[in-house]
Structure 1
Amino acid sequence: MDKIDRRMLQILQKNGRISISDLSKELALSRPSVSERLHRLQERGVIEEFSARISLKELGREILLIVQVSGLKVSPQEFETMVRQKEDIIECHRVTGHVSYFLKAAVSNMDRMRLLIDSLMPYATINTSTVLTSPVMYRYAIPQDNSFDN
């Protein structure tokens, strides 16, 4: 991965809908060259998908929760199967340490929060925190050093 690839990743993370033509102008490269680089980054799995970032607040899901899960009462596979079915859970991370999982959930009201917590309690010990603010909601990611340079 060279400087052009890293710059392409920056541009695409800011605007995933940018046209190949506009991207080629930004990078000062031909459209075929940009298309080839883009395709290569997708084949290598650097670019996993293109999607839209949605405002949870505008969807009426203003309460953001971080749920710590410890002391599982079921197998990790059973827990993960259950979590995948909960639409209020928007992220699930299995981690090391005394906490087994961190979940991120977005709910519309306190009743919905209670229902989610109640549904998780049979599976593990649950500790829930409500997010007050998010100073870093999302950060664009590019390689931090030149270890990927050709």
Structure 2
Amino acid sequence: MDKLDKQMLDFLQDDGRLSISDLSRKLALSRPSVTERLHRLREKKVIEGFSARVALPAVGREILLIIQVSDLKVSPQEFESLIQKKEDIIECHRVTGDVSYFLKAAVSNMERMRLLIDSLMPYGSINTSTVLASPVSYRKILPNV
């Protein structure tokens, strides 16, 4: 990846809706060159896709949770299959150490939080933390130098 690819990633992470024309102007490259670079980055899976970042409170998900799952009572495959069906879970990470999984969940109210926690309890030991603030909720990711 060269300097122009890195700049393209930087611009697209600021605004994933930039047109090819806008990227062309910002990078001082022809539209065909920008298009080819963009296709190459997608083919190499550097760019996985484009999506919108949604403000959780704006869609009624006021409470953000970090849930630790340890002492798993089922297979990881069974647990992961269950988690994929739970819409309140917005991230799931299988990790090393005493904790098996870190889950990030967004719920609308305390009752919804209770129901989610109760539904997870049969599968392992659950430790839940409510997020008070997120000083770094998103960060652009660029290749290391």
* CA positional deviation for 1:51: 0.6
Secondary structure at the aligned position of 2:122 is classed as: coil
The sequence identity of aligned pairs, in percent, is 74
1:108 corresponds in structure 2 to 108
Letter in 2 for 1:116: L
CA RMSD of aligned residues (A): 0.4
Equivalent residue runs for 1:4-19 within 5 Å = 4-19=4-19
Q: TM-score, normalised by structure 2?
A: 0.99
Structure 1 runs not aligned, ≥5 long? 146-150
In structure 2, distance between residues paired with 1:92 and 1:118: 17
1:18-67, CA deviations, whole angstroms, 9 ceiling, x for partnerless residues?
Answer: 00000000000000000000000000000001111111110010100000
In structure 2, distance between residues paired with 1:50 and 1:60: 23
Structure 2 runs not aligned, ≥5 long? none
In structure 2, distance between residues paired with 1:108 and 1:88: 9
* CA positional deviation for 1:144: 1.3
1:57 corresponds in structure 2 to 57
1:2 corresponds in structure 2 to 2
2:139 corresponds in structure 1 to 139
Secondary structure at the aligned position of 2:93 is classed as: strand
1:119 corresponds in structure 2 to 119
In structure 1, distance between residues paired with 2:98 and 2:112: 27
Letter in 2 for 1:3: K
Q: TM-score, normalised by structure 1?
A: 0.96
In structure 2, distance between residues paired with 1:69 and 1:24: 47
Q: Does 1:71 align with 2:71?
A: yes
In structure 2, distance between residues paired with 1:7 and 1:97: 37
| Number of matched pairs | 145
